Amino acid sequence: MTPSDGPEASVPPAFPEREPSPRFWAGRRVLVTGGGGFLGSHLVERLRALGADPFVPRRAEYDLTRQADVERLYAESTPGLVMHLAAEVGGIGANRESPGRFFYANAIMGTMMIEEARRAGVEKFVQVGTVCAYPKYTRVPFREEELWAGYPEETNAPYGIAKKALLVQLQAYRQQYGMNGIYVLPTNLYGPRDNFDPRTSHVIPALIRRMDEARRGGLAELPVWGTGNASREFLYVEDAARALVLAAEHYDGAEPVNVGIGNEIRIAELAGLIAQLVGYEGRIGFDPSQPDGQPRRSLDTRRARERFGFTARVGMREGLRRTVDWYLSSLSG
């Protein structure tokens, strides 16, 4: 389950890797919700580099849980294409503390964004889903066909189900209204500009921050939640942004599509690798009284290769090195 230093195996010749086309994107008006966030900021940079005209709503101006604000957003942005990334997200702790909020906010934002896109006659709607939507005990690697084979892992089920309901909405709207809405399922993301807030961060930024603080504080041991035996698949954020651009340009299907690197790493191994990169030399102690979350996560990424030519390029070690370097430089800046 240990990832290689590079990304997954090269693309089979039958499904060559694609590049986004500046001709397609030049001058295209794209509404990107969550465009000021972690993944969204990288996506917006890529869209601008391709010549697109992204509109990025700010939370202070548009509350996407209010219908009047969503209607005003579409009226003022007049998009031809919508990429809905806005979400209320967090790690295991945040999901345990705010399950109701995570369900409501994600469900209502997505529902109203899709409905208003239909009313506005938007050419295409791209919904970003979540790997948390998969059943707790899914056969590895996760195939898109397994999405409905069971209930999600309990700590993040409200969030995962809310996001999965948007897939149903898009498929229903396609059937009844002919709306072109696609659903992309990225695995866990990481990279520069990630959320390093200890209350809401996911595992990689949380470990980077805590290990750096432990190193500077001279701590002999650092406790980590869980047994360390759970595995996760991680995708570098710039790869994820490229995948969304490719999907928006080339994919028009009704079925969800996994986006990942195609291999997994145990949390214990991940913690050891981050310790090396940060320079923390103390002992890493695991706390089995705290939840592991889903036992394993690794995606079958063949559909993304076949349908829109996406293959991850940044391997785990290189991506972590870039992330650690960015975090340390942000502290000194």
Measured in whole angstroms, how far is the alpha carbon of residue 288 from the centre of its chain? 27
Q: Which phi and psi (to 5°) does residue 234 adopt?
A: -125, 140
Output the six-digit token pair for 258: 């996994």
- Cα separation of 153 and 156, whole Å? 6
Cis peptide before 22 (omega within 30 of 0): no
- Cα separation of 227 and 296, whole Å? 13
Q: Which amino acid, one-letter code, is at 103?
A: F
CA angle 206, 295, 219 (to 5 degrees): 30
- Cα separation of 248 and 146, whole Å? 23
| Closest to 84 in 3D by CA, of 120, 51, 124 | 124
Q: Which phi and psi (to 5°) does residue 126 adopt?
A: -110, 115
- Strand segments, DSSP code E, in the chain are 29-33, 53-55, 81-84, 124-128, 181-186, 188-190, 221-225, 231-232, 234-236, 257-259, 265-266, 283-287
- Cα separation of 189 and 47, whole Å? 19
Q: Enumerate helices (H) and strands (E) in the chain, giving the number of each.
A: 11, 12
| Closest to 142 in 3D by CA, of 272, 233, 63 | 233
- Cα separation of 53 and 132, whole Å? 31
- Cα separation of 30 and 52, whole Å? 7
Q: Which residue has the tokens 């999600």?
A: 152
- Cα separation of 39 and 86, whole Å? 10
- Cα separation of 240 and 237, whole Å? 5
Q: Does the annotation count 159 as an active-site position?
A: yes
Point out the catalytic residue in the list 62, 134, 159, 251: 159
List active site positions: 159
